[in-house]
Amino acid sequence: MSRVKSRRAGSLKGGDSEAETPDGSVQTLTVAEETVAEETVADETNTTDAAIDADKPDHDGRPPRAWRRISWSRAIAYGVLPGLALLLALAVGYLKFQDASLRDDAVARVESVHAATDGTVALLSYRPETVQTDLDAARGRLTGTFLQAYTSLTHDVVIPGAKQKQISAVATVPAATSTSATADHAVVLLFVNQTVVVGQDAPASTASSVRVTLDKIGGRWLISGFDPV
- The predicted-structure confidence for 172-184, as pLDDT tens digits, reads as follows 999 999 999 999 9
- Residue 10 counted as domain residue: no
Structure-model confidence comparison of residues 8 and 72, the more confident one: 72
Tally of domains in the chain:
2
Q: For residues 199 and 127, state if they share a domain.
A: yes
- Residue 8 counted as domain residue: no
- Residue 136 counted as domain residue: yes
Which pLDDT value is given to residue 90?
72
* Mean pLDDT, the chain, whole residue set: 77
- Residue 196 counted as domain residue: yes
pLDDT tens profile 196-219 = 999 999 999 999 999 999 999 999
Which pLDDT value is given to residue 52?
46
Structure-model confidence comparison of residues 63 and 5, the more confident one: 63
Range 186-194 average pLDDT: 98
> Could you tell me the pLDDT band of residue 62, with boundaries at 50, 70 and 90?
low
Q: For residues 188 and 125, state if they share a domain.
A: yes
Q: For residues 118 and 204, state if they share a domain.
A: yes
Structure-model confidence comparison of residues 60 and 31, the more confident one: 60
Last residue of a domain, one of 39, 56, 73: 56
Structure-model confidence comparison of residues 2 and 165, the more confident one: 165
- Residue 13 counted as domain residue: no
Last residue of a domain, one of 9, 35, 56: 56
- Residue 191 counted as domain residue: yes
- Domain extent, residue 196, equals 111-228
Q: For residues 52 and 122, state if they share a domain.
A: no
Q: How far is CA 85 from CA 91, 92, 95, 161, in A?
A: 10, 11, 15, 71
Lowest-confidence region among 27-41, 77-91, 130-144: 27-41
Which pLDDT value is given to residue 103?
77
Q: For residues 49 and 120, state if they share a domain.
A: no
- Residue 187 counted as domain residue: yes
- pLDDT surpassing 50 at residue 65: yes
**CA neighbor of 207 nearest in space, from 218, 228, 222, 193:** 193
Q: For residues 130 and 201, state if they share a domain.
A: yes
Which pLDDT value is given to residue 78?
62
Q: For residues 116 and 224, state if they share a domain.
A: yes
Q: What is the CATH number of the domain that holds 145?
A: 3.10.450.230
pLDDT tens profile 95-144 = 665 566 667 788 999 999 999 999 999 999 999 999 999 999 999 999 99
Sign of the Cα pseudo-torsion (87, 90, 96, 98, in order): negative
- pLDDT surpassing 70 at residue 190: yes
- Residue 220 counted as domain residue: yes
> Could you tell me the pLDDT band of residue 7, with boundaries at 50, 70 and 90?
very low
